[in-house]
A and B are shown apart, each in its own frame.
Chain A
Amino acid sequence: MSGITVNTKINGDPVEFICEADETLLDVLRNRLGLTGAKEGCSTGDCGACSVTVDGRLTCSCLVLGAEAEGRDIGTIEGMAQGEHLHPLQSKFLEHAALQCGICTPGFLVAAKSLLDKNPDPTETEIRFGLAGNLCRCTGYDKIVRAVQDAAKEMRSAKAKSAKTKTAAKKRA
């Protein structure tokens, strides 16, 4: 079997791997690169547990071939925290007990981040539809929605604050 060499970027770092033609990106992440944060719940695009971003777009990595990662920018759950600082979504998921077993959590976090990147102030309905591609069997979604609402609020106020300090700094200058 001849392997395909793929050059890509994962969470900002250049990565080179060899994979077979029929291997999914999810298989590559999990089995070749040791990035097991993305989970396989169905392999048919129905559960969202394998969510990653490809060039910023939310994607089920079970529906993408590893070879298709060539030249792309892949974002996974492993890249979400900055050093020892959790992303606000990660902290809010913990604070709100938005996970029980936690198998769906990486997928939800990646999907929620992608939602808030596009829409920083979503309504409850927008959150619910934005996360409708991710299945959670444990929580009934209530606490997940609340965690996302709360994280969005915190991210907005952090942004407003930093905008304020920026303008203040400009004024002083």
Chain B
Amino acid sequence: MPLDNAPEGKRKFNVVGTRPLRPDGIDKVTGRAKFGADASAPGQLVGRILRSPHAHAIIRKIDTSKAEKLPGVKAVITRDDFPDHTGGSGGLYDTLCNVMAREKAFYEGHAVAAVAATSASIARQALKLIKVDYEVLPHVTDVDEAMKPGAPLLHKDMFTDGVDPKPKKPSNIARRFEFGHGDVEAGFKKADIIVERSFKTEAAHQGYIEPHAALASMGPDGSAELWCCTQGHYMVRDVCSQLLGIDIARLRVTQSEIGGGFGGKTTVFIEPVALALARKANRPVKVVMTREEVFKASGPTASTSIDIKIGVTKDGLITAADGVFRYQGGPFQGCSPAEFGAMSAFAQFHLDNVRAVAYDVVCNRPKTISYRAPGAPMANFAVESVIEELAHKLGMEPIDFRIKNAAREGTKSSYGPVYGPIGLGATLEAAKNHPHFKAPLGPNQGRGMAAGFWFNFGGQSCVTLNIPVDGSITVSVGSPDIGGSRAAMCMMVAEEMGIPYDHVRAIIADTSALGYNDVTDGSRTTFATGMACILAARDAIKKLCARAAATWGIPEDAVKWENGYAKPAGPNAGDFAPLSLKEIAEASPGTGGPIAGHHEFSADGAGVSFATHICDVEVDPETGRSSIVRYTVIQDAGKAVHPSYVEGQFQGGAVQGIGWALNEEYIYGKDGRLQNAGFLDYRIPVCSDLPMIDTQILEIPNPGHPYGVRGVGETSIVPPLAAIANAVANATGVRFTQIPLSPPRVLKGIEEAKKAGGRKAA
């Protein structure tokens, strides 16, 4: 849908752009809001899951007889309770295998059985009574190791797709992708300076504070209800019914308040298990993951190994950029975001010659799932590190080097299409003019920056808007609200209807109330569901005008809507006193019944998004500990609907990136077991680790949205890894090529550089 702005002047907003209180706020500050684990049902049982202690093993036999006999145990399920309704291949089959292991356990923490019992302690005892006969196999958890010939094979039938000719031997490389244009070899020939480096990034977990939780009930007739915390309850409904072999219409899913997701709640884990237990026990069953289970069996994102080569002329023009991106996505093909890493890696540059090759690799690690701008932060870390190094070699200010080579309107992007109006240049210029950029640095401090890109999506949304007789409005949307989107929905409806914000109330409807709504991901909710709200409001306005027209006895098109009133469209339409929304609503029982607006569609035209981050890091030369002293996020929001929540997305994404850059990582032992499955050892940033995160919102309208809105949720996690690595390099004189930049790694790098006598790469 095109932008509303007339070319002569910008549209004026009354509600959009203000900062009202969120509609669900009081419940959230008083403890009343109901999250996943906060619901219970009469007669509910406690469900718990038995998980594989091995990284890779054939499951020969599962003996549940002892557990079944334990008093208080009402159901025990294994793979046998999940007959394959998926056709035995494809993504849905992989989801089935992940939810409950079939022939093999592919990672430590892979579910192999589950019980439902009358108490938590009985359920725990029952798990101990289940005997699983494993044949332990060799395993592999590192992406480079997994790609080597002779590595332990996860699937005997995996032949790399996307290479010519098709390989004759199976491997752990599921697929190869290639993107780009021009001729990189020719480009490198024109270069005066070439930098080539290899990088590694460790897996990070989305780290939402709310563990997965589900409360299921299911009768023997296949009618089922499910309450759970998810980014998409329609997705949960469709996937669960397919896995359990029931009609979609039989399963009603209600989404709880969701305690964070960041991509990690865009698939199912325990939901089908809870349903299968409930079916077998014929009683409601509640399953809640422990934090350890969250780390071992949900999330995380891919770990990677990346090579980057970029060439420039003496005067700072990039002649060619080339990259190889190896991402492991856990045991199933198609789960790592390798292709998005490769597509986004060079997207911020105007390049004549570019090539990005990606490998999707399988490993004995949990099945990865999206994490905010999936695949992009790691690729950005590698590319923007090389960019910074090139700028130093050229003797150019890194910001000027970036501006000189920045993608702009008309640039053929590294992943193919040509850009329309984009905000990258504006964020770079704003960074250059930001006071942060010129502020003096203290001892042991360095400044770094990076620019990042993310696609943003639209997708399916369905919205219903009802107008009760007092002229207030309820909006039912099907997109779970993770970060205040209900406020944004109310604001857009209020804007359209011309009424105050607090006359509008938004709720998230369950799956029986609305048509399909895509998962809240890809920064789509405020963009796509918001657009559906705008269009539903316009639909309601049409109906309100029709009622006014009928009341006045004039044609419908002789009525217009202005600031909450129906008015005759012009002097010829007749002389009638305007009718307010409230008056029309009040009269509605007698003028044709209730008034409602709808819109359902698949939104497209989500504009791509760019951000530039600047950060100052102080590195303690004694311990190698890096602290963030100052941080600034500059990002294009198209149009910020609720600026406080836009800032919140910028700040939250930046801090997740800071955690990933400095501390967060999945650490595996030689036995293939995760060694830090808890918040004590998997250290996410706490309040005292951080300064304030400054933000600057730029508004370069997205031509694909009536208000110019762009998604803002994801891009903010893309630049921090590189910005911090660049700052640490500038503080220490050592270029680190592996994250996280944990104190031991940094200390080692500094000491080695001292021995070697100067600047080097670690």
Contacts and interface: CB of A to CB of B under 8 A. Distances in A.
Given A37-B30, A106-B31, A138-B260, A44 B679 contact: yes
Interface stretch (B165-173, B217-225, B644-652, B725-733): B644-652
A102 B33 contact: yes
Contacts of B19: 97
Interface string A1-33: 100000000000000000010100000001100
Interface string B194-206: 0000000000001
B678 A46 contact: yes
A49 B209 contact: yes
A128 B687 contact: yes
Contact of B651 (A38, A39, A143): A143
B44 to A, nearest CB: 10
B69 interface: no
A47 B259 CA distance: 13
A93 B29 contact: yes
B269 interface: no
Given A42-B291, A49-B209, A77-B31, 7 more contacts: A39-B35, A41-B210, A78-B31, A127-B687, A132-B687, A137-B262, A142-B651
B645 A97 contact: yes
A54 interface: no
B483 A94 contact: no
A30 B120 CA distance: 14
Residue with the greatest number of chain A CB neighbours at <10 A, chosen from B33, B259, B651, B693: B259
A160 B685 CA distance: 36
A116 interface: no
A46 B680 contact: yes
Interface string A60-101: 000000000000000011101100001000100111110111
Contacts of B722: none
A37 B208 CA distance: 17
Contacts of B684: 135, 137
A18 to B, nearest CB: 14
B651 A128 contact: no
A95 B31 CA distance: 17
Contacts of A145: 687, 692
A152 interface: no
Interface of A: 1, 20, 22, 30-31, 35-44, 46-47, 49, 76-78, 80-81, 86, 90, 93-97, 99-106, 109, 125, 127-129, 131-146
B128 interface: no
23 contacts: A1-B121, A36-B31, A44-B678, A47-B209, A47-B679, A90-B29, A94-B29, A97-B484, A97-B642, A101-B209, A101-B261, A102-B257, A102-B259, A109-B29, A131-B686, A135-B209, A136-B209, A137-B206, A137-B207, A138-B482, A140-B685, A143-B647, A143-B648
B204 to A, nearest CB: 12
Nearest to B37: A40
Q: Identify the 3 closest CB pairs spanning chains A and B, nearest first.
A: A37-B31, A103-B259, A140-B655
Interface string B232-261: 000000000000000000000000011111
A40 B692 CA distance: 27
Contact of B693 (A30, A101, A109, A140): A140
Contacts of A49: 209
Contacts of A128: 687-688, 690
Most buried by B among A36, A37, A125, A129: A36
B290 interface: yes
A78 B32 CA distance: 8
Contacts of B651: 139-140, 142-143
Contact of A103 (B29, B209, B262, B692): B209
B29 A142 contact: no
Contacts of A31: 40
Interface in B339-396: none
Interface stretch (B20-28, B87-95, B461-469): B20-28
A20 B119 CA distance: 11
Contacts of A30: 37-38
Nearest to B480: A101
Contacts, number: 182
A93 B33 CA distance: 15
Contacts of A132: 686-688
B211 interface: yes
B654 interface: yes
A143 B644 contact: yes
Interface string B1-42: 000000000000000000101101110111111110110100
Contacts of B655: 139-141
B29 A86 contact: yes
Contacts of B37: 30, 36, 39-40
B656 interface: yes
A100 B259 CA distance: 9
B38 A36 contact: yes
A96 B686 CA distance: 19
B652 A138 contact: yes
Give the most central of A49, A93, A106: most B CB within 10 Å: A106
B648 A100 contact: yes
A100 B483 contact: yes
B687 A44 contact: no
Contacts of B26: 86, 94
B696 to A, nearest CB: 14
B30 A139 contact: no
Contact of A101 (B29, B258, B680, B687): B258
Contact of B484 (A22, A93, A100, A135): A100
Contacts of B642: 97
B648 A138 contact: yes
A167 B728 CA distance: 56
A21 to B, nearest CB: 10
A22 B653 CA distance: 39
Interface in B261-291: 261-262, 288, 290-291
Contact of A137 (B208, B644, B648): B208
Nearest to B678: A44
A94 B645 contact: no
Given A41-B291, A143-B648, A129 B688 contact: yes
Nearest to A124: B692
A131 B690 CA distance: 12
Contacts of A46: 291, 678-680
Output the residue of A80, A97, A133, A144 with the most chain B CB within 10 A. Answer: A97
Nearest to A94: B25
A129 to B, nearest CB: 5
A84 B482 CA distance: 26
Nearest to B33: A102
A127 B690 CA distance: 12
A145 to B, nearest CB: 7
A22 B121 contact: yes
A81 B679 CA distance: 30
A95 B642 CA distance: 12
Given A95-B21, A99-B29, A135-B209, A140 B690 contact: yes
A30 B36 CA distance: 13
A104 B290 CA distance: 16
Nearest to B686: A132
A103 B300 CA distance: 20
Nearest to A144: B687
A100 B290 contact: no
Contact of B291 (A43, A136, A141): A43
A58 B290 CA distance: 23
Contacts of A76: 31
